[in-house]
Amino acid sequence: MEALVKTNFKFEGQKELYIGKVRDVYNIDDNFLVMVVSDRISAFDVVLPKGIPFKGQVLNQIAEKFLNATEDIVPNWKIASPDPMVTIGHLCEPFKVEMVVRGFLSGHAWREYKQGKRSLCGVTLPEGMKENDRFPNPIITPTTKEAIGHDEDISKEDIIKHGLVSKEDYEQLEKYTLALFQRGQELAKERGLILVDTKYEFGKKDGKIYLIDEIHTPDSSRYFYLEGYQERQNNGQPQRQLSKEFVREWLMENGFQGLEGQKVPEMTPEIINQISERYIELYENIIGEKFQRKEADNLSQRIENNVSEWLKTQK
């Protein structure tokens, strides 16, 4: 199985190319963005040396379905998806914050809480909570959006004070974030899942706010299985997760956490196939449909042809 780990297309009207950890983003005439979701995989802020077949298709198609399912709440950047691994949309000016929303005391929030902190991004956390307990109401814990290095926690007050986002825009982002999260939780419940936490990114074009990038994918969100959640909480047991946590666990078991001097364990064909199958399983659980594997002898050629044909229709 072929994995797409690198692209270097030359589309008509192309002005620049941004290469992220997973996504390659092409600016077309400062009007459209062509986002190619590669098969690269990252963990602990490190891009692993080998790609995972079908991972890009899984992430792109999950995001596409959830963008379609939430466009009545907020306009989003997506215009078309001419290839299973590509979304084309409006070029927006991104806000310099990511809107992280949490329904449960998990992950980073739990690690902070365990250290005795009772305030996160200016939000007061209740006393007496256990890991993975549900918050009385979802909380928004924004982070800065850094070009290099780690994003940092930041409060609403500091975002407005430092002029990262205007007060009016930020309050609108909060409303959109809570409404999107509520919709995401409702859709997850229909699939027997709990949407635990996630992040949203927003941008602006012609004075209008748009939801941008991916949403509700296993790379940007944490899911628990609904069945048995409360029983596991009552018994102090770990929750069954539906996320890419299994990749981090495999790396940690093999002595890698992204620290200096550590070496990524060998990614054998067996390991690569296992990770690929897990991503497909994630898709089928989250979306509730059989995953259609779009195989191709030459993924790059297929993508280039599909995108070029779409761009021709915009002339």
Q: In CATH, what number is assigned to the domain containing residue 189?
A: 3.30.470.20
68-110, pLDDT tens digit by residue? 999 999 999 999 999 999 999 999 999 999 999 999 999 899 9
| Residue carrying the six token digits 């459209």 | 32
CA distance 159 to 250: 37
Q: Are residues 113 and 222 in the same domain?
A: yes
Could you give the CA distance from residue 58 to residue 286 in angstroms, rounded to a whole number?
A: 11
Residue 86: inside a domain: yes
Amino acid found at 198: T
Which structural domain, as residue segments, surrounds residue 231? 94-242
- pLDDT at position 124: 97
Burial of 247 per CB tally in 10 Å (0-12, 13-18, 19+) = buried
Q: Are strands 119-120 and 123-124 parallel, antiparallel or unpaired?
A: antiparallel
Domain C-terminal end among 201, 224, 242: 242
In this predicted structure, the answer to whether residue 219 has a pLDDT above a threshold of 90 is: no
Q: What is the pLDDT of residue 85?
A: 98
In the listed set 242, 275, 298, which residue is the last one of a domain according to the structure? 242
Assess if residue 169 is contained within a domain.
yes
- Of 248, 245, 278, nearest in space to 264 by CA: 248
Q: What is the mean pLDDT of residues 176-201?
A: 97
In a domain, 125, yes or no: yes
The CA angle 99-103-109, to the nearest 5 degrees, is 70
pLDDT at 150 over 90: no
pLDDT, tens only, 277-313: 999 999 999 999 999 999 888 999 999 999 999 999 9
The pLDDT, as a whole number, for residue 148 is: 54
Instruction: Say if residue 196 is in the same domain as residue 276.
Output: no
pLDDT at 145: 84
Check whether residue 127 and residue 63 sit in a common domain. no
Q: Are 97 and 159 in contact (CB under 8 A)?
A: yes
Residues 87 and 98 in one domain: no
What's the start-to-end Cα distance of the chain, in Å?
36
**Within this chain, do residues 102 and 233 fall inside the same structural domain, yes or no?**
yes
User: How much of the chain is helix, strand and coil, in % rounded to 5?
Assistant: 30, 25, 40
The pLDDT of residue 147 is 60
My answer on whether 160 and 222 are in the same domain is yes
What span, in angstroms and rounded, lies between the C-alpha atoms of 86 and 23? Answer: 10
pLDDT of residue 246: 86
Alpha helices in the chain (DSSP H): 55-70, 107-114, 156-161, 167-190, 229-234, 245-253, 269-287, 299-312
The pLDDT tens digits of the residues spanning 5-39 come to 999 999 999 999 999 999 999 999 999 999 999 99
Shared domain for 141 and 266, answered yes or no, is no
The Cβ of residue 191 has, within 10 Å, a number of other Cβ atoms equal to: 17
Average pLDDT, the chain: 95
CA proximity to 81, closest of 32, 121, 42: 32
Q: Work out how many domains the chain is built from and give that number.
A: 2
Per-residue pLDDT band at 149 (split at 50, 70, 90): low
pLDDT, average across residues 250-270: 94
Name residue 19's beta-bridge partners: 24
Interior/surface letters 100-129, b for 16+ CB within 10 angstroms, e for the rest: bbbbbbbbebbebbeeeeeebbebebeeeb
Residue that is last in its domain, among 225, 242, 259: 242
Residue 143 lies in a domain: yes
In whole angstroms, give the CA distance from residue 263 to residue 87: 34
What pLDDT does residue 265 have? 96
